Amino acid sequence: MPSLTPHEFRPVTTLRGVGTALAEKLAVLGLRTIQDVLFHLPYRYEDRTQTIPLGSLQTGMRAVVEGEVQLSEVTFRGRRQLLVRISDGSGWLTLRFFHFGAAQQTQLARGIKLRCFGEVRAGQKTLEMVHPEYRRITPDNPMVESNTLTPIYPATEGIQQARLRQLSTAALQELQHNSIRDWLPADLLPDPRWPTLQAALHYVHRPPPDASLELIAAGRHPAQRRLAFEELLAQQLSLRQLRQDIKNDASWSLLQGSELLKQFCNTLPFQLTSAQQRVWQEIEQDLAQSQPMLRLVQGDVGSGKTVVAALAAIKAVACGMQAALMAPTELLAEQHARNFQRWLAPLNIDVVLLTGKHTGKARTAIMESLASGKASVAIGTHALFQSDVLFTKLAVVIIDEQHRFGVHQRLLLREKGINTGRYPHQLIMTATPIPRTLAMSAYADLDVSVIDELPPGRTPVQTVVVPDSRRDEIVQRVREACLQQRQVYWVCPLIEESELLSAQAAEDLYTTLRSALPELRIELLHGRMNAKQKDLIMERFKSHEADVLVATTVIEVGVDVPNASVMVIENAERMGLAQLHQLRGRVGRGSAQSSCVLLYQYPLSDVARTRLRIMRETNDGFEIARHDLEIRGPGELLGTRQTGLVQLRVADLMRDADLLPQVQKAADFLLKDKPDHVEPLLTRWVGQSERFGKV
């Protein structure tokens, strides 16, 4: 690696005014060196370049004002507070402080001139600002208009914006004297008109007053694009480095099992689709290698990913090894366990379920069966990767709904195979399809397979959007469906992230429907029930001992009742596209024509109206995912808090998707021709603390 420019890596304590105590607080933000400060980028800006007369202020404005203190007093209106009234001849403004000391009272005495910045609110007698930023104006400290937009930085407790601006100013001054090393050859950049790295950094920290706030807010300024490209490249390199590290490890070469797999396929009541067969061939080729498989399988709701996962587990068992499947929720883990036990019991394969609810002797027995090798397949939640859960020979790890977990949790389960000196193969599944280019960036450590075909006999679900005022019509529609021997889901959304409130809402609806439909058998299912209750209710619904299942969104994934042909979703306007699509996927699993009713309440936001329109127009999961990306961005869809991409400071995967092909080419070039440039880029953008490791 070439010698690094020393000044970039000098500790923050070399900057003026940074002592040990402040350095400890800055470390919370990952700011340990001057380079860290330079790449701690603003997330928005405020225009403080002009002073607004007090008489021109309006509620909701964020403004810079100047005035002389006319009144300063401590009052006790409900709580102790300091009120400071200022005037500039054109109007009045009250400054309200709830946290203050004696020194601050002295600083804000009558006759003092102040410059303040804050949000204008309506007050009792005048407009006011609560806890504004302010500075005294004195002959020794005259105020000059700011000649740049004011940056607002990600902060933490004990560090004010003013301090972060002082630090960035000091770091930018260092940049003027010592240029920062640019690790990207100019011909790697997609646009030759982009500014240099140094100019881009200066611009984003201190945009000129004539800068377009709209362009900057949209992230489309060339300076932002230059930095976004480098940041996306660093993330790509980080994930590829992880992939390479894992590929260098030894794994089990799984070559046996063709007879057992054939026996399994013969017991299934259906034939695999051509897409399932194609994806399984890709997986089987990976499992035959002596390096760990790293494969993501994408497939729409109901495309048959679980059967493909079962094939991988059977392959491991046929070779004398073990397999583990991790699901994000207990309900989904329980559903997988039931399917696997039903499928694998005829093959004499022992399947165990381990979730957080298993305690005491039951948990000990499960753990002993895994440690001894008696149990060949483990299904569970995150409980599977707890330190005291041991396997004999774990050869295949299957993760369902990758975006609900993430890189680090996936790697923890991978470590369960280390006692044999070999690492397990990893198969990742998701029903949240994302565009291939995006998948290659978000999951650069994985190969990607797509099950792009639904099993034969599936009929597209007809979706209707209905206002709550027409509820009686829907109740009648439910009655008619049930009289035709069909079954119905009626789903209540999670309200305010509270299982308690959600359960109450479901219970109210359950009571209402029982009164309106006394001739029907109606069951209630929600997340506050214990596993035994949930299993009992689901079994009754599956065996058609119930006509209508009133449920919370616990049935979003994993529930398979082919006879259910109507899905009614309450307050559909509150839900995201991905969740609505998952819920709709619970029907249309048999041969009967199925329908989904999206009940909504007025008023509808523009986003909600758009979501409901998209659901009505298409059943295509990839199309829905594309729209979901446009509406929400990739954060929620990819679970980037888990994948690590939440650390993106200036880039945005959806907005900057056009850069991704060039990012991948640049990564190829650096890894092959400039490998000594990789580590400095990772240090700059990803950081040591956030680097993906193998543990």
Q: pLDDT tens across 568-594, in order?
A: 999 898 888 888 888 898 888 777 889
CATH for 379: 3.40.50.300
Same domain assignment for residues 198 and 274: no
pLDDT at 99: 86
Residue 232 counted as domain residue: no
Same domain assignment for residues 422 and 476: no
Instruction: Give dist(CA 319, CA 679) in Å, integer.
Output: 40
- Sequence length of the chain is 695
Residue 506 counted as domain residue: yes
Q: Which helix (H) or strand (E) holds 597?
A: strand 595-600
Residue 364 counted as domain residue: yes
Instruction: Give dist(CA 429, CA 313) in Å, integer.
Output: 14
C-beta of residue 606 within 8 angstroms of C-beta of residue 573: no
Q: Which of 567, 600, 618 is the last residue of a domain?
A: 618
Dihedral sign, CA of 309, 311, 314, 318? negative
C-beta of residue 85 within 8 angstroms of C-beta of residue 94: yes
Residue 398 counted as domain residue: yes
Q: Which of 618, 645, 663 is the last residue of a domain?
A: 618
Beta carbons within 8 Å of 348's beta carbon, 6+ residues apart: none
- φ/ψ (deg, to 5) at 183: -90, 0
Same domain assignment for residues 370 and 428: yes
Same domain assignment for residues 194 and 138: no
What residues of the chain score a pLDDT lower than 50?
Answer: 1-5, 495-499, 501-502, 635-646, 689-695
pLDDT at 494: 57
Instruction: Give dist(CA 259, CA 319) in Å, integer.
Output: 12
- φ/ψ (deg, to 5) at 211: -65, 145
pLDDT at 355: 87
Beta carbons within 8 Å of 373's beta carbon, 6+ residues apart: 322, 392, 393
Q: 330-344 vs 531-542: helix axis angle to the nearest 10? A: 60
Q: Which of 655, 625, 282, 233 is nearest to 435 (CA)?
A: 625
CATH for 182: 1.10.150.20
pLDDT at 410: 61
Same domain assignment for residues 138 and 268: no
Same domain assignment for residues 28 and 169: yes
Residue 84 three-state SS: strand
Which domain does 376 fall in, by range? Answer: 258-451
Residue 650 counted as domain residue: no
Instruction: Give dist(CA 428, CA 642) in Å, integer.
Output: 14
CATH for 85: 2.40.50.140
Q: Which helix (H) or strand (E) holds 119?
A: strand 113-119
Same domain assignment for residues 519 and 605: yes
Angle at 41 between CA 119 and CA 154, to 5 degrees: 50
Residue 184 counted as domain residue: yes
Beta carbons within 8 Å of 610's beta carbon, 6+ residues apart: 627, 631
Same domain assignment for residues 506 and 572: yes
Q: Which helix (H) or strand (E) holds 403?
A: none
Same domain assignment for residues 280 and 140: no
Q: Which of 414, 431, 451 is the last residue of a domain?
A: 451
Q: How many CA atoms lie within 13 A of 69 on its CB side?
A: 24
Tell me the C-alpha to C-alpha distance, in Å, between residue 78 and each of 75, 81, 98, 121.
9, 9, 11, 19
C-beta of residue 375 within 8 angstroms of C-beta of residue 351: yes
Same domain assignment for residues 466 and 438: no
Same domain assignment for residues 480 and 435: no
- AA identity, residue 476: Q
> For the chain, how many structural domains are there in total?
4
Residue 538 counted as domain residue: yes
pLDDT at 655: 82
Residue 666 counted as domain residue: no
Q: Which residues pair with 135 in a beta bridge?
A: 115
- AA identity, residue 609: R
C-beta of residue 395 within 8 angstroms of C-beta of residue 319: yes
Copy the structure tokens of residue 338. 């039931």
pLDDT at 558: 54
pLDDT at 562: 84
Q: Which of 288, 293, 291 is nearest to 255 (CA)?
A: 288
Q: Which of 686, 661, 188, 273 is nearest to 435 (CA)?
A: 661
Same domain assignment for residues 104 and 204: no
